[in-house]
Amino acid sequence: MQYGYFEQFGEGTARIYRFIEVALQWAYSLTANTIKGIVGSPARILEIGPGTGVLANKLSKLGYYVVGVDASLAMLRRAQGRFWRPDFVNGGSWALPIGVGKFDAAVAVFTLHHWGNYELSMSNVVKSLRHNASFIVVEVDGDRLNAHGHSCTSRCLTDALTPYFNDVILRHRFPLIIAIAKSPEAPTP
């Protein structure tokens, strides 16, 4: 099966990511606050691409049960070594190793632009969510900032999400774009 493009960070990137995450603390806080406004704790949250676990840890501290799924074992090792509350699992958006209808919300921060095969990945996200759950996507706003392939435009997010969700709301918080996709169809086993 062909999964499309995805970027898997190795040991070198994982080592320096601690510096990157310091610069992105404001984005993780904004995302945590967005999730708080959509679903209250103690909800079950799926984070796709948690990297070193910063957002998963923030959400866990707020009382959420968080499962982070990442393709990079190097990033997951760093997340597991730093945080005890979130559960971290090796996998990717194209093959989520979790059950059907288990989560009240899913979140992807700075990862959607790497997914490649949106059809397979979005189908898996929808299957992981309970009925009327939300999927929050945070990306660099490609309409306003050229991030050299590391961003999404409003059209990119809308095109990726609308076939799978009944309602997609876009919020622009420069330099980010936040998509809140709501009301997926009931998951099918």
pLDDT tens for the chain, residues 1 to 189: 344 444 567 777 777 877 888 899 999 999 999 999 999 999 999 999 998 999 999 999 999 999 999 988 888 888 887 887 889 999 989 888 888 999 999 999 999 988 877 899 999 999 999 998 999 999 999 999 877 777 889 999 999 999 999 899 999 999 999 999 997 655 555
> Does the domain at residues 11-184 carry the CATH identifier 3.40.50.150?
yes
CA distance 90 to 76: 7
CA distance 37 to 61: 16
State CA 97 to chain mean position distance. 15
pTM across the whole model: 0.89
139: nearest Cα among 111, 167, 115, 180 = 111
Q: Length of the chain, please?
A: 189
The residue extents of the domains of the chain are: 11-184
